[in-house]
Structure 1
Amino acid sequence: MATARHPMWAPANVEAVCRVLASTEWPGLTGSEIGKLLAMLGIEDVSPTATKRERLWAALMTKQQANQASNCIIRFITEAMAPGRFVHDAARFDALKDAINEPLSLMALRVNEQGRLARAAGASTLDEVAKLAGRLRKELNRRGVHPEVVKYCEEEILRKSLFHAVFEATKGLAERLRQMSKSTLDGSELVDFCFSTKNPPPVVRINNFVTETETSEHKGFANLLKGTFGTFRNPPAHTPRAAAGWTISEPDALDLFSTLSFMHRRLDGATVTV
């Protein structure tokens, strides 16, 4: 029985898929993995010295054009996402599946749990892509991220703007401290006002602030707040996103959200003396 011929994919959609599969960061395929898959599927590696993304895009587009069908792209994705390749790294399978489902949703497709392409609800805008994929929100829910974290960066998370999501979530922590302490300060000055031990009791304290251990914990928490503001709020506040030097990966952003959750939970039980 002849194999059904699938309609050709638009170059932009092929490029979007290749951007995910050949990402330079985890969980993208390595150069050797791409080469092996192309050879196994009989797809000519027309640009072996190009970057991973350009190499994969050139190979798939050349084959699709020759066949006048997208079968080669579908076969590549199916083979790349075969669960057997991820027996010892299930987290990579989940991350790669969620990532590739974003561009696939523009064609009403998705990779299912069996690693095969299946029909899905279609998306026509980038916002719908983010809603359908929901990778960030899914992971935040899995981690039990505190509602106060998401409260201040809901739109940025939806749009997957990590740069601004990190900025807004960290600003949200400062805003909560201002609301608790009735202060109008910001950054390190705000932390000093809330947690200063010069005139006990501090305005905000996360424990009974009686024993030496409790005092040490209190001071350490204040330093954690200052470090968070200095690392994740001040650089974005003074640096354009495109400027060299300040970027954040998705794993780092998720770890920050977990850290912010810890701080919000400690503030949940804090005592305020105004």
Structure 2
Amino acid sequence: MELHILTPVVVECIANILGDTSEGLTGSEIHKCLLQSGIEDVDPTNTKRFRLYNAFAKACNESKCSNCVFTFISVALAPERFVSEKERFESLRDKINQQLAFCGYKYNEDGKFSKTPKASRITDVEIKAKNLKVEVEKRKAHSEILNYCKAELLQNNYFHAVFEANKGLFQRIRDLSGSKEDGNKLIEQVFSSNPVLIINRFISKSEKDEHSGFANLLKGLCGMFRNPEAHEPKVLWDIEEQDALEILGIISYCHRRLDNAQRIRLI
């Protein structure tokens, strides 16, 4: 049997994650999973995280390896336990993988472990385990976003993920309309009162208002996340993960509206 070795700090962090009050295991779940993993519950009256750490520490010391921790993770985070709690499963798995990456391991969604290059920096762990691409896919974002910014998403480069997704959106408008313009000029040409593309029947006042509102939404995206690139250093244009996900959601919505767009005249 291959011996797996985790550092004491990583073992402690894993115990903290799985013993977390809000998202981790309940006391009864910890007891059950320790029994199923063949680990002695040496400190059952202590707080959950210390209870887990003490159990892990004793088992690791006796076996001179960390295989017991791997066994416990595979039991506690068995995919079949989380059929109706997919988000909780992924959240716990991401946090566990952030720690395992420091020792060169990863826990996969199929419940098996694999080896991965050891991470030495926090940013390395973020790239491997808290991947923006995974979060975008969870939200069922439009496939066009991934087509235009796959590399940036994999690198968790939030600014360039948004920047490239916007570029992709405007390129798609050019492809659908045949226009050679960019930015606001493109939007004004394609979605004017005499439009090239329409996103609805464009007959009633409410339909024309919706069409105009969509054009203004595109102009807002253009002004906020395209123009700053030419004028501001990236360090001054910081976008957090949550902001990036929400902005990409707006871009995804725009792509879905374009899915049903009709070209009604030539330029």
With over 3 angstroms needed to count, the CA separation of the structure-2 counterparts of 1:162 and 1:263, relative to structure 1, is farther
Alignment of 1:39-58 (within 5 A): none
C-alpha separation in 2, matches of 1:163 and 1:37: 43
**How far 1:218 moved relative to its partner?**
1.4
**How far 1:215 moved relative to its partner?**
1.5
CA contact (8 A) 1:206 1:218 kept: yes
Instruction: Give yes or no for the alignment of 1:81 onto 2:74.
Output: no
**How far 1:89 moved relative to its partner?**
2.0
C-alpha separation in 1, matches of 2:97 and 2:156: 14
**How far 1:222 moved relative to its partner?**
0.8
With over 3 angstroms needed to count, the CA separation of the structure-2 counterparts of 1:145 and 1:71, relative to structure 1, is same
Q: 2:213 maps to what in 1?
A: 220
Alignment of 1:1-274 (within 5 A): 6-9=3-6, 14=10, 22=17, 29-30=20-21, 33=24, 66=61, 68-71=64-67, 73-78=69-74, 80-82=76-78, 86=82, 88-97=84-93, 100=96, 107=104, 109-111=106-108, 113=110, 115=111, 118-120=112-114, 122-124=115-117, 136=133, 140=137, 143=140, 145-147=142-144, 149-178=145-174, 180-184=178-182, 186=183, 188-197=184-193, 201-230=194-223, 232-233=225-226, 238=232, 240=234, 246-249=239-242, 252=246, 255-256=249-250, 258-267=252-261, 269-274=262-267
Taking structure 2 as the reference length, the TM-score comes to 0.60
Tell me how many residue pairs correspond in the alignment.
246
Deviations for 1:141-188, whole angstroms, at most 9, x for unmatched residues?
9937233x223212112334343212210122123334532214x2x4
Deviations for 1:180-223, whole angstroms, at most 9, x for unmatched residues?
32214x2x4542343222xxx23443345343243222112112
Taking structure 1 as the reference length, the TM-score comes to 0.59
> Once structures 1 and 2 are overlaid, which stretch shifts more, 74-83 or 211-220?
74-83
SS in 1 for 2:142: coil
Amino acid at match of 1:175: Q
Amino acid at match of 2:137: L
C-alpha separation in 2, matches of 1:38 and 1:137: 28
| Pairwise CA RMSD | 5.2
C-alpha separation in 1, matches of 2:6 and 2:153: 29
**How far 1:259 moved relative to its partner?**
1.8
Amino acid at match of 1:217: E
CA contact (8 A) 1:140 1:254 kept: no
With over 3 angstroms needed to count, the CA separation of the structure-2 counterparts of 1:233 and 1:103, relative to structure 1, is farther
With over 3 angstroms needed to count, the CA separation of the structure-2 counterparts of 1:243 and 1:224, relative to structure 1, is closer
SS in 2 for 1:153: helix
**How far 1:93 moved relative to its partner?**
1.6
C-alpha separation in 2, matches of 1:222 and 1:124: 46
C-alpha separation in 2, matches of 1:123 and 1:261: 35
Amino acid at match of 2:24: E
